Amino acid sequence: MRRLGILASGLAAVLFCGLGWADELPPPLESYMGRAIAQTMSWHGAPWLIRETREQEEAPSKLLEALDLRPGQTVADIGCGNGFYSLQIAQRVGPTGKVYAVDIQPEMLELLQQRAAEAGVTNIVPVLSTPADPKLPEGAVDLILLVDVYHELAYPEQMLAGMRRGLSPDGRIALAEYREEDLSVPIKPLHKMSKAQMRKEYESNGLRLVGQFDQLPWQHLMFFARAR
């Protein structure tokens, strides 16, 4: 499979940070604030992200409506995978908007590029990040979305600092995680988070809760902004 950047047909240029980060970072965390950190889902599992049953199970259409996206906005999809949300967000923000599709796996970004080219979507900027830096432009992002990915971040403090820097003055972070409190959600406990844990980690890193959406079948959806 050809490497990221070669498959740039119809898309903005890839923001490529290189892979030298592995020798520059401290050892990844195995736990944070009393929570075990899950391993990152491999790109080999990408088909699960676009499974036919996802709407029935997770109601992503409801999640997208709750984001209150508007034409012209700049959105970052952290842990974008093969672009399940990135492509739909790109359509909602329109040609005057922009989506930074961020992932640490170049293979995921290649899959995203292929899907975007097939759909004729041209306002997505793939970003190959590091595990400790989302590589977002400073002060430019209206909404940062993380869907079932934050619990896998091995450098949560560094990533949250990078996201804070990337937010526009009125920007928000939308955090979706499977509900730890709900035993009926058929997801392994390691891949769930409680509302209390989500608030504890975000509020300890310079962010404040500004909204919640409690109508998803499996997930919490909480909104954070910079602390005053």
The predicted pLDDT at position 6 comes to 28
- Identify the burial level of 82 via C-beta atoms within 10 angstroms of its C-beta, where 0-12 means exposed, 13-18 middle and 19 or more buried: buried
**Annotated domain spans of the chain:** 56-226
DSSP letters for 13-74: PPEE--SGGGGTSPPPPSEETTEEPPPPPPGGGGGGGG-TTHHHHH-HHHHHHHTT--TT-E
Residue 124 β-bridge partners: 99
SS3 217: coil
Q: Is the pLDDT of residue 18 over 50?
A: no
Q: Is the pLDDT of residue 120 over 50?
A: yes
For residue range 155-171, list pLDDT tens digits in order: 999 999 999 999 999 99
Q: Summarize the confidence of residues 90-99 as an average pLDDT.
A: 98
Q: What is the pTM of this model?
A: 0.90
Token representation of residue 96: 């005057």
Q: Is the pLDDT of residue 4 over 80?
A: no
Superfamily of domain 56-226: Vaccinia Virus protein VP39 (3.40.50.150)
Quickly tell me which residue has 């409506």 as its tokens.
65
